[in-house]
Structure 1
Amino acid sequence: MNAIEFLKSSTLYRSSSWLKPVISGVLDDSFTSQIIDELLIKLFNLEISSTIEKAEVDPADHDPVQNPKRHIHRIATIEKIENVGLLNLSEKMTLNPGLNVFYGKNGAGKSTIYTGLCKVLGKDSKQVIPSIYGSNNNSVVEITCICNGSEQNIIWTSKESNPDTGIMLFDNQISNVIVEQDQINEFDLAHLKSEYFVYIREVLETLEEKMLFLLGRRKEDAQQIKEFLSEKVPFILTGNFTKEKVHQHVFNDGQSKELEHLQRSLDLLNREELTESIRNIDNAVIETGKILGTFGSFHDEEYTLSYTVESLTRVNKLISDYNLAKLALDGQTAHSGIVPESWISNTTWSNFISTSIEFVNSLEANEQRKFNEETCVYCHQPLESDLSKKLISLYRELQVEHSSKLRGLEDKIKAAISRLNNVLVLLDSLISTEPRIEAEFDKINKIGQKCIDSNDVKKSFEEIHEVLVSKGTLNVESIYETIKQFCEFYLELHIQLKTKSVELKSSLDQKKQKILELQKQIEPLVIGRDLMLYKHKVIEFFELNEIISVIDKRKSELSRFKRSLAQQKTKFMNEEIMKQFENLLKKEYENLEFSPPDVWRLKTSTRGDVNKRVYSLNDKKLSQIFSEGERKIHSLADFFAQSELNNYQGVYIFDDPVNSLDEDKMQYVSKRIMKLVDQGNQVFVFTHNLVFLNMLVSDPGKDKINKVTRLSSQVHIEANKAIDNIGAMKERHREINKRIQSFKQRSILDITEYELRNVYDLMSGYLEDYVEQKLLSGIISRYRPNIRMNSVDSLKGIESELIDELCELYEQTSRKGSRHSQPIGAPKPLYEELLSHFELLDLKFKY
């Protein structure tokens, strides 16, 4: 059962309802982006905006069926590699469509080529370091590859990252990750069509993006209309309205005319300024009340006049009592024969003496005795005569007998004068108060009338004030009549104004009630009119909210469907794919002659939407139990099993894949790699292991390798070289001769030490090849550890003298090159010596 059959038989598919057109389209390979648009228009009733906004969200951008991932079938050439470590490959390097082996010793520069290839192929985790001998920090790798059936050029620079091309890569870092971490099940099985889970999810995500876009746009539209309605018809947002009620709503001509009539009545009522009139009358009431309060008092709405005949008569009596008390005091003083009679009748004299006595009484006892019996209080001279002492004694006696009574009467007179002063101040202020009161006369039928003349009453109070000061006698009847007439006028006016105020306030209450009644009648008519006026906007608002609600609901259903889809994918991967993967993995184990412990387990784990395979040994991870060799075996088995399960066709890259493996397991890895080549894949192998190299290269005379050599400050690649071919020696000899000839065309001072050492490196390597190919006749080599016994006879002609010369020349070239470490340091190479050494090599050891 493939993924399509699995999904169509699932409950998820049968229950998808509104999603079925989309899911069916993907599973039947008939899906187009138009299906999503049609579904959205159907689901969300998009008559308001009949087109789906394609500019912002284009489903084609998310269509996994129409936009497959770029797949590299093979790499045709390496066009150039610039400033990647010590490697600068400027000449195009043509690659084998099958096996490509890069061999070199540790430190020769294989990793430089490897990381450069990784970078250009989008494996961004690999780090490229520019040459330490230059100031240029920009690295460049350019390749030509066969991609999706056509030749394409791919360039990488250190200023950017390339997209991952999905090639199969195996190195020590990946090997460790496979053992130490749970692996994501990125299986891509064509025959099981597991990619349809991804296709469906991506289409659903496209649908979700469009729904979110539509939701955002509809919410924006709804908010704009809401703001408009809140200004024009706010009752829609708070009232109990539905789209159906608004659709059915009408507002006829009769209702319109009724609204106009009621509105005119309301406008007339609102134009009546009762409030201002009431405020002015109430102010007049306050003013008249203040006037009346000055001359009398209110109690329970009854007014009592303070200035009555009795009260005015009491004033006369107060003055009379005062005069009698004063007369008694003055008379006794006069009879004493001490003070002239004319002084006694003088008020100033009386005050003078009284004040003196009060001052003496305020002193301490001994001081009082002094001024009563010995010293004059006025001149501080001794009281020499009996008469002066008698005067002081007499006044003190009179003070005790009459002064308290007299002072009490004086206080009452002063209080009466103070009250009169307040009345006179009020009467003076009437000049500004009367116009404000008279302004309200037209409201109480007193149009054209004036307030009572206040001058007469003012004169009466001035007369009272004069009598109190001069201690004379009031004309009680005349003054009373004047005051009474004045207060009766203002009392009547006060009552009339207050009555009018009550009437107006009652009218105002009636007006307010009438206004409320009119407003109550007008409100539903206004709502009906405005609702009719903005009916289309209100309906649009309701429809937008309905769409928003439906989108929210469908979006939630879509989220649940995506979760269920992930669960179905996990189930499918566990039931179908993981069975095949585990079988392939165990087969790889067997071929590698590896038997894991019985407690070894493989299971799946889903975290979120990510499905992973988990290896364990009881509660331990493989990295905690497996040895280094076992870790390598497991990682290779996992890699090969996944490759076979995915049936991946394309580019494989292996970097030192057999570290920690014995020769038997190396043999299987080499065969497994060659199986990939036989299946039509392009395979790159980077290795320093001669045994493994020999296993990969079955025919040393025909099979070619790319030899990597470190020459002082640069990495050198000898491309497409046979392992045991005399041609390699010829090529190396031509390269040495080419460089020697170039030196001869230059000044000795321009030739650098590095260049000389590089030539010595080539010469020492040539001598090694000479020993293998010429001296030992190829019976054994660095690349093939086994001895060719049928070639041993060719060793009979070896000359011992030639061996001595070869050893001496090899020692010179090795010490002055940089290929080998020197225990005592490498001597500085000299140009002349180099020429002589080359002449000897050319003479004695020519290929």
Structure 2
Amino acid sequence: MNDEVLESQAVVIEEPGPPDPREILAAWANEQDEWIRSIVRHVLGTGRALSSDDIDVVYALFRQEKGVDERTLPTEPGLTVGVLEEDAELPLVITRLSEVTGVNAIVTGSVIEPHVGLTILFGENGTGKTGYARILKALAGSRTADTILGDISASEEVALSAKVEYTIGPDVNEFVWTGGQGQAPFTRMSIFDSPAVNFHVDDDLEYSYVPTVLALFNHITTAIKGVQERIDKSVGDLSSGSTTLLSRFPRESTIYPLVETLGASTDLADLNARADRGSDVDQRTDVLRRAVAALEADTLTAQIAERQRGERVLRQAVLAATTLGALDVQALNARIERLAELQSDYRTFRAELFAAADLPADPEETWEAFVSSGDRYAAHLESLGVHDVERCLYCRQPLTDPARALVARYGEYLTDKISSDIASVQQSIGSVTAPILAIQLNDVNPFVDEYEDRADRPLYFAGVAGIRDAATGAAAAIRVGGPIDTASLAGVSTLASAASAAQVSIAAEIADLKNQAENRADALREKKRELAELTAAGELAKSWTTIQAQVERAKESDKLRVLAGKFSSLGRSVTELAKAASDQLINQSFDKLFAEECEALRAPELKVEFVGRQGRAQRRKTLAGRHKPSKILSEGEQKVLALADFLAEARLAGITAPVIFDDPVSSLDHRRINEVARRVANLAEDGQVIVFTHDIFFATTLLSLFETSKRCVYFQVTDEDGKGKVTRASGPRWDSLGNLKSNINKTIDAARAVDGEARAALVREGYGWIRSWCEVFTETELLKGVSQRYQPNIRMTTLCEIKGAALPAASEVVTRVFEDACRFIAAHSQPLPTLGVGPSLAGLEAHWKELQDARTQYTAAAE
């Protein structure tokens, strides 16, 4: 199968390939702007991305080409590209893995020295193989790499570490791994394990390998983005403008909004016409500023406020005087005098009425309330129809004659005319004095208190003070119930007239001052407007250079924005080119390689779709055009399908680094294991392959395939002295005629060098190896491998190779020596007569010679 694949590959190489992507890029660039050609020329010439300085040069060319800056750079000519073969990568080979610490529960001290061809690490489940595989996955940045834990049962954490020695071509190198993922150059390694099956079967998988030439498209895209970033930065810088320019102009000027909205659409000619470039502009501005200051130093407002206060005081004083003038003092005093007489008569009447009543105290207001309450209660009882005049209202005892007489006096007292007259007079006095008591002096009082001790009293102060004194005096007399002194109110009318005249005069002054203030405000507004316009016009002239530059920056910014809008289509154009090149270089090649691997591994036939997202090449596998393989295929079929995908991807990159398999044959039957083993062995003929496995049939099959070439090394991984103990061995208890012959010869040589019990022990060991040799010789040569251990089937194709004529002679020797050997090994119990008969070195040598002669004769007979 391998020879056929290689021959098929040779034919493909000789066929004319697709156009080189460099030619495609050159042809595309020749249809683009000069600055694009400059980017492509650099990428094609160096094979590397542009540096920041390189992009600065391209951006300068972009600006000059688009007329943003003056043209000084030379014209960028068209591109012509010679197709060159890509430089092949030097092979990466791991030569030693040692000093492993902190990885799972692996013990320290083990050393793995992989072969340049095939390396097998064989061990049962749980012996520590996975720890070493995880290190390699981490170094490679494998899709299935996971977090590596230390020994969870350890009392303290140990840092992750491993020493990796490797070669790249002729160069010898060393790397100390400390847990990092994806460490160059180990990212070139290809790794397959069971978790990777799902990726390779069902997922839309990106290629782990991208040809160097396809990276050119990424370099071009990155450079274009770099130019766009510089455009964006320039636009940001240009749009910022001067942060202090607007603050120089008065907000109330007509020029302010024009400066505030400076931009690409600003009419510079119109704006320039508004500038005042007169030599005396500063002098004229100063004159206007002084005029405004003079108008702003306003005393009218204070004068108006002062007079308005006086007007309020006078209005209140006039109102108080008017209220006092309306009062008939004589009539009020007469009522007060009449009230006093009635109250005196009332007291005399009350004393005489109850003189014989034996009251505990003289009648007064408290007693009067008591009598009135009884009368109201009696009226209440009468309204209910339950009043009994023969009983006391309070104690409910029958009334005696003296008691009835006293109650009768109570009735007379309550109906007495004097008390009703008193109430009438009091009501009359209250109605007359209420306006006096209601006089408000809240403005007058502070005014009089403020100016009472001052020399700069207003002319109307005396009148206002006199009115206040008259009002407060009258109110005080009324409150104590005494008569009002007529003399205290004698001059109130005169004071009222004077206050009223002063009020009219002040009102006129206020109107005049307000008129003056309005004229001054108009003048101030006009002067301020003139000052703002002149200041703005003068500042416009002074800042013209800055303004002109800001407008030019805005125009440049707008132009760059328009140009930047075309970059999205430019990026899509590069992406389409990259996808087309990717399909030619990757997808089509992968499709062919995948078909070859499926045939070699008898993987199910299915359709591979090549999808691209954001310029990235991906592949998808389906059955019948719509089903995921995992929904249809068995576990074993999925495993070989994943292996075919993995190997096709590895071959696509050109295998120049280790290919690592971690238990690749789990879930596979013996026939498929044999096919996978042969495919792995074929890979190891030309490159380094490392296999981790616990499948003894897989391991022995691999070893048998390399028995001739010797491009193989075998390591046994055990947990006898701790997890991950690695020892180099010849095989997993698997015998071949070659290694058995070597063991027999070494044992005979060792026996010759010693005597006594040591020799006897070695002779018995030698007979053990001879017994095994007889079995393997019979299995592989006499019977031509028709039936073999670890093989699942009878190989009928080799049955005809058995040489029947030579078979009896060889069989006789082999059977006889085999029986003798069985008598001398400890594995067989012996009868007592022969138990003490020990084998001799001479007998061992004779038997060994007989066997070799028998093999030689059988081989010669076969020829």
Q: Sort the Cα spacing of 1:804 and 1:672 in 2 relative to 1 into closer, same or farther, 3 A.
A: closer
Change (3 A) 1:731 1:518: farther
Of 174, 177, 188, 1:156 maps to 177
Match of 1:626 in 2: 633
1:322-361 correspondence runs (5 A): none
Cα deviation, residue 78, structure 1: 0.5
Cα distance per residue 1:136-179 (max 9 Å; x no partner)? 84554323223376332122244777355222233444344312
**Unpaired segments ≥5 residues, structure 1:** 51-67, 298-305, 340-351, 369-374, 745-759, 813-838
Deviation of 1:296 (Å): 1.5
Q: Distance in 2 between matches of 1:593 and 1:516?
A: 99
Distance in 2 between the 1:103 and 1:482 partners?
133
SS in 1 for 2:187: coil
Alpha-carbon shift at residue 726 of structure 1 (Å): 6.3
Query: Which residue of 498, 503, 506 corresponds with 1:489?
Result: 498
Does the alignment pair 1:261 with 2:287? Answer: yes
Distance between the aligned counterparts of 2:176 and 2:650, measured in 1? 27
Distance 1:682 1:551, change over 3 A: farther
CA distance in 1, matches of 2:440, 2:705: 141
Q: Secondary structure at the match of 1:649?
A: coil
Unaligned segments of structure 2, at least 5 residues: 1-18, 70-85, 353-362, 380-391, 393-398, 782-787, 792-797, 831-837, 849-863
Please, which of 613, 616, 622 is the counterpart of residue 616 of structure 1? Answer: 622
Q: Which residue number corresponds to residue 57 of structure 2?
A: 38
Is 1:169 the counterpart of 2:191? The answer is yes
Supply the distance in 2 between the matched residues of 1:288 and 1:624 (Cα, whole angstroms).
106
Amino acid across the alignment from 1:603: E
SS in 1 for 2:738: coil
Aligned AA for 2:113?
M
1:209-358 matches, within 5 Å, as: 214=233, 218=237, 222=240, 226=243, 235=256, 239-242=260-263, 249=272, 250-252=275-277, 253-296=279-322, 307=325, 312=328, 315-316=329-330
Q: Which residue of 1 aligns with 2:588?
A: 579
Counterparts of 1:636 and 1:719 in 2: how far apart (Å)? 28
Structure 1 residues 94 and 810: alpha-carbon distance in aligned structure 2, compared to 1, 3 A threshold: farther
What's the CA shift string for 1:348-382, capped at 9, x where partnerless? xxxx99999999788639989xxxxxx9xxxx999
- CA 453–591 in structure 1, closer or farther in 2 if over 3 Å, else same: closer
Q: TM-score, normalised by structure 2?
A: 0.65
* Corresponding letter in the other structure for 1:152: N
Please tell me whether the aligned partners of residues 452 and 489 of structure 1 are also in contact (alpha carbons under 8 angstroms): yes
Of residues 724, 732, 738, the one that matches 1:724 is 738
Asked if structure 2 preserves the Cα contact closer than 8 Å seen for 1:274 and 1:508, the reply is yes
Q: Which residue of 2 aligns with 1:836?
A: none
Cα 1:4–1:722, aligned 2, differ >3 Å: closer, same or farther? farther
Q: Which amino acid aligns with 2:298?
A: E
**CA shift at 1:395, angstroms?**
9.9
Out of 660, 672, 683, the position equivalent to 2:689 is 683
**CA shift digits 1:109-159 (9 cap, x unpaired):** 765654444444444845667689987845543232233763321222447
CA distance in 2, matches of 1:843, 1:232: 122
Map 1:62-81 → 2, pairs under 5 A = 73-75=91-93, 77-78=95-96, 80-81=98-99
Per-residue CA deviations over 1:656-692 (Å, capped at 9, x if unaligned) read 55663665894586367536734xx333455656577
2: CA distance, partners of 1:539 / 1:766: 106
1:266 is paired with a residue of what secondary structure? helix
Instruction: Quote the residue 2:707 is aligned against.
Output: 700
Give the CA deviation at 1:463: 9.9
Other-structure match for 1:639: 646
**Match of 1:289, as an amino acid?**
R
Q: What CA distance in whole angstroms lies between the structure 2 residues aligned with 1:389 and 1:113?
A: 127
Secondary structure at the residue paired with 1:364?
helix
Q: Are the structure 2 counterparts of residues 460 and 29 from structure 1 closer, same or farther at C-alpha, using a change threshold of 3 Å? A: closer
Q: How much has 1:561 moved relative to structure 2?
A: 3.6
Partner of residue 142, structure 1:
163
State yes or no: 1:178 paired with 2:200: yes
Contact persistence 1:460–1:482 (CA under 8 A): no
C-alpha contact (below 8 Å) 1:581/1:645 kept by paired residues: yes
What amino acid is aligned across from residue 729 of structure 1 in structure 2? N
How many angstroms apart in 2 are the aligned matches of 1:116 and 1:392?
123
Question: 2:14 matched to which residue of 1?
Answer: none
Structure-1 residue corresponding to 2:215: 195
CA 70–520 in structure 1, closer or farther in 2 if over 3 Å, else same: farther
Partner of 1:601: 607
Contact 2:191 2:660 in 1 (8 A): yes
1:239 is displaced (CA, Å) by: 3.3
Mapped contact 2:194–2:662 kept (Cα < 8 A):
yes
Which residue number in structure 1 is paired with residue 43 of structure 2?
Answer: 26
Corresponding residue of 2:678:
670
Aligned to 2:523: 514
SS in 2 for 1:169: strand
784 and 509 in structure 1: CA distance in 2 versus 1, 3 angstrom threshold:
same
Aligned-residue Cα RMSD (Å) equals 6.2
CA distance in 2: counterparts of 1:460 and 1:176, whole angstroms: 109
Q: Percent identity?
A: 14
Q: Distance in 1 between matches of 2:840 and 2:566?
A: 83
Q: CA deviation at 1:266?
A: 0.9
Describe the shift of the 1:799–1:676 C-alpha distance in structure 2 as closer, same or farther (beyond 3 A). closer
**More deviation, 791-800/625-634:** 791-800
Equivalent pairs counted in the alignment come to 725
Question: In structure 1, how many angstroms separate the alpha carbons of the residues matched to 2:378 and 2:124?
Answer: 131
How has the CA–CA distance of structure 1 residues 205 and 514 changed in structure 2, closer, same or farther, with 3 Å as cutoff?
A: same
Q: Structure 1 residues 23 and 9 mapped into 2: Cα distance closer, same or farther (>3 Å)?
A: same
Does structure 1 conserve the Cα–Cα contact (< 8 Å) formed by 2:122 and 2:699?
no
Aligned residue number for residue 2 of structure 1: 20
Amino acid at match of 1:77: T
Superimposed CA distance per residue, residues 279-322 of structure 1 (whole angstroms, 9 cap, x where no aligned partner): 2211111111111110127xxxxxxxx627xx65xx44666689
Matched, 1:808 2:822: no
**Separation in structure 2 between the aligned mates of residue 623 and residue 355 of structure 1, nearest angstrom:** 112
Is the 1:285–1:497 contact (alpha carbons within 8 Å) kept by the matching residues of 2?
Answer: yes
Q: Which moved more, 1:1-10 or 1:286-295?
A: 1-10
Contact 2:140 2:182 in 1 (8 A): no
Matches within 5 A, 1:315-714: 315-316=329-330, 364=375, 400=417, 408-409=424-425, 411-413=427-429, 415-416=431-432, 431-432=448-449, 434-435=451-452, 439=456, 441=458, 451-452=462-463, 482-530=491-539, 557-574=566-583, 577-592=586-601, 596=605, 600-618=606-624, 619-655=626-662, 657=664, 660=668, 663=671, 666=674, 670=678, 673-674=681-682, 677-678=685-686, 681-685=687-691, 688=695, 700=707, 703-710=710-717, 712-713=720-721, 714=725
Whether the aligned pair in 2 keeps the contact of 1:145 and 1:151 (CA below 8 Å) is yes
Which residue number corresponds to residue 833 of structure 2? none
Deviation, 1:569, is 2.8
Distance 2:145 2:123 in 1: 21
Per the alignment, in what secondary structure is the counterpart of residue 194 of structure 1? helix
- In 1, the alpha carbon distance for the partners of 2:767 and 2:150 equals 32
User: Aligned AA for 1:264?
Assistant: R
Give 2:726's aligned amino acid.
V
Letter in 2 for 1:198: N
- Following TM superposition, by how much is the alpha carbon of 1:603 offset from its aligned partner in structure 2, in angstroms? 1.5
The 10-residue stretch of structure 1 (601-610 or 245-254) with the greater mean CA deviation from structure 2: 245-254
* CA spacing shift, 1:701–1:453, aligned 2, 3 Å: closer
CA 1:485–1:645 in structure 2 vs 1: closer, same or farther (change >3 Å)?
Answer: same
**Structure 1: how far apart are the matches of 2:154 and 2:336?**
129
